[in-house]
Chain A
Amino acid sequence: MTVAPILKLQGVTKDFTVTSSAFGKVLSSLRAVNDVTLEVMPGETLGIVGESGCGKTTLGRLILRLTQATEGRIEFQGRDITRLPPGQMRDLRREIQIVFQDPYSSLNPRMKVRDIIAEPLENFGAGRREIQARVDEVMDIVKLPIAYADRYPHAFSGGQRQRIGIARALALKPKLIVCDEAVSALDVSVQAQILNLLSDIQRQTNVTLVFISHNLGVIRFLSHRVAVMYLGRIVELAPEAALFDAPQHPYTRALISAIPEPDVSRRGQRQVLEGDIPSPIDPPPGCPFHLRCPKAQEQCRNAAPKLQGIAPRHSVACHFPG
């Protein structure tokens, strides 16, 4: 049996340019996302992990069409959405939703919770009764008491605000939800509540999640498959177990090793990578990671490795994987 992917990215690239306002001259440009190809299956959670400047947030915005790809092709449910005209965008908005990182800036402080959750429904012409019923329904899903519906966001804690954000994303019963650092601003005890909630929601509704985070623990908990990004490229893509237990790219390995775990017995055993993350404005030639890679060879300085399959469903962009 073959299932068609719900989302397909083919060589997607995004350049940002800084132009001088007077003459429109390009002052500098950076490639935020570089030749990304991947597929997401219906009902799965794809985790996208990487450090700052790796392009993970831009990738999320590209999928949502909040920004336009420079090159490449994005397909959603078999339909090319890369250059949809605004008229047809609205249909897409119904199917793909987003949950943001900052639970403070992502809710309009002047709107009641009920109106915040109802807004997407209103945009697609739902009737008053239908809206009311659906708002009650999603508030129940995210475990927010209905009695809170007429309050303003400032009355809520970070965790509750994130529940409101999730409820808003669920309102239209989307097929795909992009979560951009959705738990990063929360305290650990609240983070666990939201992670369990997202995991429950997915199990119950079978919604597809693209979960973007810098936190590997969070990524491992939620994801079925994981893409590791570095300087705009995917350097490793594998099912969660394979990626965390047998990482093939030296960067993935260093990243996993660098996480401080609450375990005193592992003290001082971390691999500390040298150097800073290069700026995407001025990326190194060859493999983007070679400047910090403990295994870098001559070949790595000259040619950027392609993302290649090394095992079923496991691919890595490295000349010397393993």
Chain B
Amino acid sequence: MAGESASGPERPQSEFIIRFRRNRNAMIGSIIVALVVAAALLAPWIVPYDVEKVNMLTVWEPPGEDFWFGADALGRDVFSRVIVGARVSLLVAVSVLAITLTVGTILGMCAAYFGGWVDTVIMRTVDIIFAFPELIFAILIAAMLGPGKLTVIIALSIVWWPGIARLTRSLVLSLKSELFVEAAIASGTPVHRIMRRHFLPNIIAPLIVRASIGVGFIIMAEATLSFLGIGVQEPEPTWGGMIRDGLSQLRTDPHLALYASLALGITMVGFNLLGDGLRDILDPRVRDR
């Protein structure tokens, strides 16, 4: 018996929960995000109307008892389309995150761990993509690939992975000097295991923060592409497309653009609040250790 008690601070999970509860941004953000996600998941059961069914009798119907948010140029229920639009936005965001997090962390870890020419090739590629303004580059790629959901995902993934790679690289570079990594090397641990076991779990927190802030950007970018008509195509409802369609009618029937913009705005605010909150909770520079 060593005679020392293993008392120490609370478990990290419980500490995280306490900090989370005390952080107003994180709490409000997570409630909004939870509502958006719930709406997207439950869309098929909660929408009152078929989102693609054209009904010429209800064209530009103002908001009322039958159509809470009114109807659009083809008489389709705006409320239903806003709800289903959340589904499209989140699907794009999740796909882009999955792709960029995978590609970005792997390339970033390789660049940091191996250094030398591996680092040079990866980071120069990152620099080249960074040289273009993100959105314009995405529009360029989407225009080349032709419209569609897949196009949006590919275009946004191409502009978004370099940020993840660069963040991962800097995180791993500072981890590399930690003694536990050196201890792992000294006891013969193979590279793939060092990455999986020693790097990944220790960089996951800042990556989550980055990802949750990034969702706002991705949803906005998807809406922009759809707004410009090179994103997700009709008849599938998207917030960007609805804003575009509502724009011409803004003076007389503002409800279409208004509710789609509100949905987009609230979702972005939700993800940004959550991201800011998570950063405050997880970032050791903000947090007192």
Contacts and interface: CB of A to CB of B under 8 A. Distances in A.
Interface of A: 64, 66, 89-90, 93-94, 96-98, 100-102, 105-111, 119-120, 123-124, 142-145, 148, 151-152, 154-157, 159-160, 163, 165, 168, 172, 190, 193
Interface string B1-36: 110101111011000000000000000000000000
Interface in B35-81: none
A160 B6 contact: yes
Interface string B171-187: 00000001110111111
B149 interface: no
B118 to A, nearest CB: 15
Given A90-B188, A93-B188, A145-B1, A106 B183 contact: yes
B180 A105 contact: yes
A89 B187 CA distance: 10
Contacts, number: 89
6 contacts: A94-B188, A98-B186, A106-B180, A109-B202, A123-B188, A168-B183
B2 A160 contact: yes
Contact of B186 (A64, A102, A154): A64
Contacts of B4: 156-157, 159-160, 190
B198 interface: yes
B233 interface: no
Contacts of B12: 152, 154
Given A143-B2, A172-B187, 5 more contacts: A66-B185, A123-B189, A145-B2, A152-B12, A154-B9
Nearest to A104: B179
Instruction: List 7 A-B pairs, minimum CB-CB distance, nearest first.
Output: A93-B188, A110-B201, A120-B187, A106-B179, A155-B8, A123-B188, A108-B180
Given A145-B1, A145-B2, A160-B2, A93 B187 contact: yes
Contact of B2 (A110, A111, A163, A172): A163
Nearest to B12: A154
Contacts of B193: 123
Contact of B183 (A100, A144, A159, A193): A100
Contacts of B198: 108
A151 B6 contact: yes
A148 B4 CA distance: 11
Contacts of A106: 178-180, 183
A102 B180 CA distance: 10
